[in-house]
Structure 1
Amino acid sequence: MVFTEDIFKRKNETGGSVEVICGSMFSGKTEELIRRLNRARIARLSVQIFKPKTDTRYDENAIVSHSALSFPCVAIDNSASILLFYNGEHVVAIDEAQFFDADLVEVCNTLAAKGVRVIVAGLDMDFKGRPFGPMPAVMAIAESVTKLHAVCVRCGNPALYSYRIVPGEDKILLGETESYEPRCRNCYNIV
């Protein structure tokens, strides 16, 4: 088993890497991303963070966890913009990656080929339990994938689904606890 810290230590020997943090809503993805970014800063590595402009929750110029941890970021329209804003940083982080386009895979590969440690965080499934956006493809090219689980609000078991509690069929609906709740497989399938 290869741990993220092992990949981090070998960066200079092997070049760049792609790490993925995924899971349901309320599983701590952004919090884990911020933890990794803080460790990179402690190691005196330069970092740059991106998120989609469409994510207007909390702060337009920062990634913010549900527990109010935050980190300044650049909000962009599409994944190709990451390469336009990239300034030679050691670590590039991408939050809410499920909202980006399919070119995100190529962007991650391009950065990793330049020796950059790329950390991608996002939902792996939409509210219907289907793979979400470019996340499955990014997971396929990643050196490491960390799948986090929330706590099912119905039974307390590990939750891997984001259950939408408001009506609507739009794939993208920004929201928090008023719109979604984490559920385990069993409780997700019980209406």
Structure 2
Amino acid sequence: MLFSELHFRTGSGPKGSIEVICGSMFSGKTEELIRRLRRAQIAKLNVEIFKPRIDTRYNDSDVVSHNANSIPSTPIENSSSILLLGTDTQVVGIDEAQFFDEGLPDVCIQLAAKGIRVIVAGLDMDFQGKPFGPMPALMAIAEDVTKVHAVCVQCGAPATFSYRTVASGSKILLGEMESYEPRCRVCFNTTAY
């Protein structure tokens, strides 16, 4: 059982918390987010799930993993929209957090202060190996940070970097295996930008 699951179930009442699931592309971040949210639903907790409106790779509204597991969500433009959720919400899931604005950490703090368990998943680094969006701040304020790893397609070592295989200088380029591949530090740095 994760610290936050134990923390939520002990004490005199619901205790808010922030959990972050991070790593490179193809590391299983969304899969882990869906697993935790389904467990909360099985426990009959009221769950709300959000994703950035720009992420339409697999589905316009559902959160979908690379393994095709999915869970219904609400696509939103900015992080402040999350604060409009229902008053009986006990767990909030947020996917692709790196695409949200810099206000997301404050939104998560407000939710946790209300006793809500907040589970956030996102890329910790961009295609250049630099911290991505609000993820560093979220990792700093979280009670629990889980870093998951993919497998380097070059050498088979644990991969922590998302190497972009197509020419584009844009910070945000939605794509899958046609645009990115997971790489370890050594393989990433041998052909880094």
Q: Secondary structure of 2:35's match?
A: helix
What does residue 19 of structure 1 align with?
Answer: 19
CA distance in 1, matches of 2:78, 2:101: 7
Q: Secondary structure of 1:131's match?
A: coil
1:11–1:115 CA contact under 8 A, matched in 2: no
CA distance in 1, matches of 2:152, 2:135: 22
What does residue 177 of structure 2 align with?
Answer: 177
Q: TM-score, normalised by structure 2?
A: 0.94
Structural mapping, 1:85-164, within 5 Å: 85-164=85-164
CA gap of 1:22–1:44, structure 2 versus 1, over 3 A, is same
What does residue 84 of structure 1 align with?
Answer: 84
Q: Cα RMSD (Å) of the superposition?
A: 1.4
CA distance in 2, matches of 1:11, 1:66: 37
Q: TM-score, normalised by structure 1?
A: 0.95
What does residue 63 of structure 2 align with?
Answer: 63
Q: What is the Cα deviation at residue 92 of structure 1? A: 0.4
Larger deviation: 174-183 or 4-13? Answer: 4-13
Q: Give 4+ residue runs of structure 1 displaced > 6 Å after superposition.
A: none
Q: What is the Cα deviation at residue 5 of structure 1? A: 3.5
**1:135-184 Cα deviation digits (max 9, x unpaired):** 00011110000000000001110000000000011000000000000000
Structural mapping, 1:26-65, within 5 Å: 26-65=26-65
What does residue 74 of structure 1 align with?
Answer: 74
Q: What is the Cα deviation at residue 13 of structure 1? A: 4.6
Runs of 5+ consecutive residues of structure 2 not aligned to the other structure: none
**1:57-107 Cα deviation digits (max 9, x unpaired):** 100110000000000000000000101234431100000000001110110
- The number of equivalent residue pairs is 190
CA distance in 2, matches of 1:141, 1:90: 19
Q: What is the Cα deviation at residue 8 of structure 1? A: 3.9
CA distance in 2, matches of 1:64, 1:7: 28
What one-letter code is carried by the residue in structure 1 that aligns with 2:129? G
CA distance in 1, matches of 2:130, 2:83: 29
1:11–1:117 CA contact under 8 A, matched in 2: no
2:49–2:73 CA contact under 8 A, matched in 1: yes
User: What is the aligned-residue identity percentage?
Assistant: 66
**1:82-133 Cα deviation digits (max 9, x unpaired):** 0123443110000000000111011000000000000000000000000000
CA distance in 1, matches of 2:9, 2:134: 27
CA distance in 1, matches of 2:175, 2:12: 40
Larger deviation: 127-136 or 3-12? Answer: 3-12
